[in-house]
Amino acid sequence: MSLACLRDYELRAHSVLPKNALDYYKSGAGEEFSLQLNRDAFNRLRLQPRVLRDVSCRDVSTTVLGCRVTLPVGIAPTAMQRMAHPEGECATARAAGAMGTVFTLSTLSTSSLEQVAAAAPDTLKWFQLYIYKDRKVTQQLVQRAEKAGFKALVLTVDAPVFGIRNADVRNKFSLPPHLALANFTDSTTTHVNQTESGSGINEYVNNLFDQSISWEDVKWLKSITRLPLVLKGILTAEDAIIGANMGAAAIQVSNHGGRQLDGAPAPIEALPEIVRAVGDRCEVYLDGGVRQGTDVFKALALGASMVFLGRPAIWGLAVEGEKGVVDVLTLIKREFNHALALAGCTCIADIKPNMVVHESRYSRL
């Protein structure tokens, strides 16, 4: 059967991934309310297309942090991608480059900064960062990212601890023994080991991540690099304003794929207030729940300048490596281009906020 949409890739990936890896990638925190909400919130938004407009010539390219990309969809950081395919992050980075868009490498990757830089030299690459208890570990990662040609740092701000992910607890999740966290050399930071009490990834985070991080650490990070800083994991206008005041280049509205605080809003729900608060001062991105081109359209209409995909790229990677990721991005791009035409738009600038409304507008009829 041909793979016609993202759901087809997801189902195929579910059939080929080992249970330990599949459950890690697909699960959310707690009862997975926020995980489901990420999709439900998009489905509660209605599109209001305009008609009888000449849409024969369309352009879906945009600019992100001063760099031109061919579509407003990038790759979000996702850990340990060699569990999905032997080439892991290197394959995903090459796919992003082939599509002319952004790839974000996770700190907890199974391919190192240097490996990804060598494998995808022409890809626009960003590096996602966690702050470790040992600040030298974090500072060295920043220096290596700069040296390897990464163009931005994406600081995850919503993970002083990891959410309780029941699937990982049940599976006693650990990184397969033939893999390691490739950005490190010390055994305490390279391995996610099986534990008797539950998830190995949560034990790793609890042992090494700094739970005391604060806005002062954002100041510190800005003081040690000239790279633009994206703050990922913000869901309130209040925090977005603090971030903008500290000079963040962008705010990435995200609930960590529903994997942190169960009960937190979907990013698409939080997006409008954050755009109102800081959209004239820095770029605003969104990740979480984006599964088709109309989702991209909705996010852009509500003020996002870029959206990022996490799990969808993993499904493509698991199915057919680099080609699978290219195919998934091509699907999303085609669907977005189609949505643009049917909504009466020729470019991203034509997408207006009044083209998206909540379903409650129609429930009153």
Which residues does 136 contact at the CB level (< 8 Å), separation at least 6? none
Q: Which contiguous run of DSSP H or E holds residue 308?
A: strand 306-309
- Residue bearing tokens 């995200």: 254
Residue with tokens 């959209």: 279
256 is known as an active-site residue: yes
Express the helix, strand and coil content of the chain in percent, nearest 5 each.
45, 15, 40
The H or E element spanning position 336 is helix 311-342
Concatenating the DSSP letter of every residue in 163-200 gives ---HHHHHHT----TT---TT--SHHHH-----SSS-H
> How close are the terminal C-alpha atoms of the chain, in Å?
41
> How many Å apart are CA 211 and CA 180, to the nearest integer?
24
Alpha carbon separation from 228 to 65, 114, 231 (Å, rounded)? 8, 20, 10
For residue 200, give both structure tokens. 């190995």
Nearest of 33, 79, 7 to residue 269 by alpha carbon: 33
Task: Point out the catalytic residue in the list 14, 178, 256, 358.
Answer: 256
On the CB side of 22, how many CA atoms lie within 13 Å of its CA?
Answer: 11
Name the nearest CA neighbour of 317 among 63, 109, 165, 156. 109
- Is residue 150 within 8 Å of 175, Cβ to Cβ? no
What the block records as the tokens of 26 is 């697909």
Catalytically active residues, by annotation: 256
